[in-house]
Structure 1
Amino acid sequence: MIDFDGAPIFAIPAHEGYRGFGGCEGMLLEGPQGWGEFCPPRTGSDLVAARWLTSAIEGGTVGWPDPMRGRVTVAVAVPAVGADAAAAIAVASGCHAADVMSTGGPDDADRLAAVRSALGPDAAIRCLVDGSWDVDTAAAAIPRLDTAAGGLQFVQQPCATARELAALRRRIDVRVAVDVSDLSSDGLTMSEVADIVVLDAAPLGGVRRALRFAEKCDLPVVVSGAGQTSMGLASGLALAGVLPELSFACGLGTAAALAGDIVPAGRTLITADGYLPVAPSAPAPDPDRIAQFTLDDVESVAWWRERLRTARELL
């Protein structure tokens, strides 16, 4: 039912200077109901890749559950750029929430302050760290960043492990959001590790599996996604559309960080008004854009073919 053998392989870089955001590299899978995107990180395990494949197959075969809402609010993705550039990116998005990348550098506070000034006192400002801090570093940095931002809604993934996150939460007042798609619990409960759970449909195995996780979770959730084109981000929007409660703007504004896309210009998921639509299926690729971003490096093509074969064996 899925054209695995003929799946196009693509690579799209991030905009130059967008620190904290990588490009998107992966495969496009066509099924009887539409298209799906298979782009697990190269550093992820085979099991993680299999979950990404399950998500890509879901969109192209059984489709997604019927949504409860036709559009969702999104947060603009602000890369680790200078303060003036960060403010410009935030304003251009039309969003009233921002996911601001922090790298631990001296410009983090200036960037957060600039985004707050640009979006105003009522905007929701969140800080994304990508698990790069130890507990002491995070405990020292987060209060300063909270002050610079005029109040953070939450800080996402400040530390890498569950035990570090649990220890950090006892030392700070800012809420901690944790991506559960690739986190070992270390025997801890989710309420010990996180105040908010981050749900990314693709690495959790698709919209339905992510929805089941949300139903079992006793914490508020935020829908997020990264490293995907508009085709891949559509699954995150489908998840956001079907959740009974959606208390936070979705971290699905990352397509703007890429230097291109593989869908037609009119279907690109880049907001100008702070919202993105929930569609019944992912947008189909544009043949000209596929040709533009086709990956032709022999070794990389072979790597992706093998990656797909290994992931299929685990399904």
Structure 2
Amino acid sequence: MTPTLAEITTTARVVALPMNTRFRGVDVREALLFEGPQGWADFSPFTEYADAEASTWLAAAIDFAYAEQPAPLRDRIPVNATVPAVDAARVPEVLARFDGCRTAKVKVAERGQSAADDIARVRAVREIMGPEGRIRIDANGGWNVDEAERVIHALAELDLEYAEQPCATVDELAELRYRVKHTGILIAADESIRKAADPLAVAQAKAADLIVIKAQPLGGARRALRIVAETGLPAVVSSALDTAVGLSQGAALAASLPELDFDCGLGTASLFADDVAEARPVGGSVSAARVIPDAAALARLEVPADRRDWWLARLERCFALLGD
């Protein structure tokens, strides 16, 4: 079932979620939510994204609201804590928000920070989580190959699970993977999957040991599942800093994966000071069930009229691109 633009806008609600800690340059996360026959969906490409990229996010939202999703194979999804690029002294307060999580993803390569800052942050996470906790780092493509190699070697003693998108290009990832293979630290591809014209190039170049997939940026669960199957690589389902509604789409995707070997990055509701529904991890996992936004929360988090108009205009442009 394909909706009309009018059908989407009839139920559209635009919200702004305040964050506990600045993350990915964001202090407040805006999103447009709408309801279809299957339930609520989240359309929330970052504001700087061009319409062509944002339209893929809209396709995913329409799919989630209007189409039956792949059959779930599990009802709860194990998740990781997410540690923004904070000072090492703030790591305890961040981890305390992620109930029962035994894996932590630590942001590194933040602009304006040094490798020493990254190492101190990861070390603080290891001290809190102990030897049995799992730690992964995410550089969002912020290093060149030499920089990535130096930091990964420096962190090897802290027993990293994997490094996510340490470099920007597939060729760089392949070179780095060759250089650090002896450490046993895996390389994961994120942007090289979700922002690539050919998401299969990573596997063809043997540039990663696993891939990170996100429901909205990849156009929905079915396309994400096809990419996983075609790459033949293990997958971690992660969020794009979604609302609780968007996280439930990611959880539905994770629930339908044939194999789920790694904790997923779907605990990011703990990064928000307020949300449209409760979606924070409990005992290290989140539910795979659909989320229904709370009416009071929708009203409390509603954006001013000018921001609503901005999102509705963006929705209209992206919807036209889907028709084209």
CA–CA separation in structure 2 for the residues paired with 1:278 and 1:122:
26
Map 1:1-315 to 2 at 5 A: 1=3, 2-16=7-21, 18-20=22-24, 22=26, 23-93=28-98, 94-102=100-108, 103=110, 104-105=113-114, 106-147=116-157, 150-173=158-181, 174-179=185-190, 180-184=193-197, 188-192=201-205, 193-263=207-277, 268-279=278-289, 281=290, 283-296=291-304, 298=306, 300-315=307-322
Provide the TM-score with structure 2 as the length reference.
Answer: 0.87
Report deviation, 1:162: 1.9
Asked if 1 retains the 8 angstrom alpha-carbon contact of 2:189 and 2:202, the reply is: no
- Residues 177, 78 of structure 1: alpha-carbon distance in 2 compared, 3 angstrom cutoff: same
CA–CA separation in structure 2 for the residues paired with 1:186 and 1:203:
12
CA–CA separation in structure 1 for the residues paired with 2:243 and 2:270:
9
Corresponding letter in the other structure for 2:15: F
Report deviation, 1:230: 0.9
Structure 2 segments unaligned to the other structure (5+ residues): none
Higher mean displacement: 25-34 or 131-140: 131-140
> For 1:125, what is the secondary structure of its paired residue?
strand
CA–CA separation in structure 1 for the residues paired with 2:232 and 2:168:
22
Count of aligned pairs: 305
Identity among equivalent pairs (%): 37
CA–CA separation in structure 1 for the residues paired with 2:170 and 2:314:
28
CA–CA separation in structure 2 for the residues paired with 1:136 and 1:306:
43
After superposition, give the CA deviation of every residue in 1:194-245 in whole Å (9 maximum; x if it has no partner): 1111110111011111111111122111111122111101111111111110
Report deviation, 1:65: 1.8
Corresponding letter in the other structure for 1:176: I
CA–CA separation in structure 1 for the residues paired with 2:244 and 2:280:
8
Report deviation, 1:276: 0.8
After superposition, give the CA deviation of every residue in 1:103-126 in whole Å (9 maximum; x if it has no partner): 253322122112112122122100
Corresponding letter in the other structure for 2:188: A
Report deviation, 1:191: 4.5
Structure 1 segments unaligned to the other structure (5+ residues): none
After superposition, give the CA deviation of every residue in 1:234-291 in whole Å (9 maximum; x if it has no partner): 111111111110000001111111121012xxxx111131011111x3x122222122
- After TM superposition, which residue ranges in structure 1, 4 or more long, deviate above 4 angstroms? 184-189
> For 2:315, what is the secondary structure of its paired residue?
helix
Asked if 2 retains the 8 angstrom alpha-carbon contact of 1:78 and 1:86, the reply is: yes
Provide the TM-score with structure 1 as the length reference.
Answer: 0.90
